[in-house]
Amino acid sequence: MPDTNLSKPSMLATEMRAHAGLFTEKTFDWDAFPASRGFPDLLRAQLRYVGAGGSPKTNDPSTMKAEHFTFSLVNQPVGKFAASHAHEVVEHFMVLQGVLTVGTVWGDEVVEVKLGPKDLLLNKSGRPHGFRNDGVEPVLMQITVGSGTPEMPVHVCHPKDKDLELARRFGAPNSDKVQAFSPESSDWRHRELAGQIVRYRDRRPVWEKAGFARMAYIGEGGAPAVSYSMDMIHLPRGVAIKPYVREVEDVYFVLGGTIIVGWEQDGEVIERRLGERDLLFNPAGRPHYFRNDGVSDAQFTMVIGSPAPHPVAFVAA
Looking at residue 2, its pLDDT comes to 46
Taking the complete model, does pTM exceed 0.85, yes or no? yes
What is the pLDDT, as a whole number, of residue 3? 46
Which H or E run includes 153? none
Report the phi/psi class of residue 151: left, alpha or beta, with left for phi > 0 and alpha for psi in -120 to 50. beta
Q: What is the greatest pairwise CA distance in the chain?
A: 79
Residue 42: burial class (beta carbons within 10 Å; 0-12, 13-18, 19+): buried
CA angle 23, 285, 302 (to 5 degrees): 40
Does the domain made of 31-200 have the CATH classification 1.10.20.10? Answer: no
Average pLDDT over residues 61-72: 96
Average pLDDT (15-30) is: 98
* 1 pLDDT above the threshold of 60: no
Q: Which helix (H) or strand (E) holds 20?
A: strand 20-21
Average pLDDT over residues 151-176: 96
Boundaries of every domain in the chain: 31-200, 203-304
For 233-256, the pLDDT digits (tens) are: 999 999 999 999 999 999 999 999
- The tens digit of pLDDT for each residue in 203-220 reads 999 999 999 999 999 999
Q: What is the mean pLDDT of residues 51-63?
A: 93
Q: State how far the Cα of 144 lies from the Cα of 147, in Å rounded to an integer.
A: 9
Q: What are phi and psi of 120, to 5 degrees?
A: -135, 145
Tens-digit pLDDT profile for residues 247-306: 999 999 999 999 999 999 999 999 999 999 999 999 999 999 999 999 999 999 999 999
What value does the mean pLDDT take over residues 190-202? 97
Residue 204 phi/psi, 5-degree rounding, is -105, 115
What's residue 8's pLDDT?
82
pLDDT tens-digit map of 173-191: 999 999 999 999 999 999 9
Please provide the average confidence, as pLDDT, over all residues in the chain. Answer: 96
Give the pLDDT band of residue 7 (cuts 50, 70, 90). low
pLDDT at 195: 97
- What does the alpha-carbon distance between residue 257 and residue 14 come to, in Å, rounded to a whole number? 25
What pLDDT does residue 250 have?
98
86 contacts 152 by C-beta, under 8 angstroms: no
Same fold: 31-200 with 203-304: yes
CATH number 3.30.565.10 given to 203-304: no
